[in-house]
Structure 1
C-alpha cells in the first residue's frame, strides 16, 4: 500500500508560534514601528499576537527571526527603559 505524504502548507496564524521562528511566517499584516529615528530605516517592528504575546523583528529583515515576548516581559522592559535601566545600551 502506497501512502501519500501530505504537503506542508505555509504557516498560518494559530499554528505553533515560537521564539526565533521566521517572522515572515507570522504574516505581513499587523506589524508596527512603535518608534523610528534617524537611523536610515533600521527600525524595530512589533506585532501583538492573538494570545497576548508580542513578536518583535528587524524591519530590514522582515523574514528573519522573530523574538516572542510575553506581555509581562515587554511591560518590564519598557518600564525599565523608561526608568533608565537600559541606558547602558546607549554608551
Structure 2
C-alpha cells in the first residue's frame, strides 16, 4: 500500500511509531514508522493524528546519513 505526503498519521493502519529515546517523553520529537514497501513515515509526536510525511527508503537513508554526519547540527538552538 502506498501513502501520499500529508496523509493523516492516524489513517495509516497497522504501523508502529517509534521515537528517539533522547526525547525523554516530553513531546518535542518526531516519530517514524516503517510502512513496508520501501517507505518510511514521519510525524510530529505532539500531533499524532496530524499529517505524516512519507519518504522512500533512499530519501530517509540520505537524511539519516546527513544527520549522523552532523550536517544539520547548526539548526538546533
Find 1:60's aligned residue among 46, 50, 53: 46
Contact 2:15/2:34, CA 8 A, preserved across alignment: no
> What is the aligned partner in structure 2 of residue 75 from structure 1?
61
Q: TM-score, normalised by structure 1?
A: 0.72
**Relative to total residues, which structure has the larger helix share, 1 or 2?**
2
* Highest RCO, 1 vs 2 (Cα 8 Å, sep ≥ 6): 2
Q: How many residues align?
A: 77
> What is the aligned partner in structure 2 of residue 49 from structure 1?
35
Do structure 1's residue 26 and structure 2's residue 12 form an aligned pair? yes
Structure 1 unpaired stretches of 5+: 1-13
Q: Deviations over 1:10-68 (max 9, x none)?
A: xxxx3x51001111100364111134335722221110012120000011111100000
Q: What RMSD, in angstroms, separates the aligned Cα atoms of the two structures?
A: 1.9
Find 1:84's aligned residue among 42, 63, 70: 70
Structure 2 unpaired stretches of 5+: none
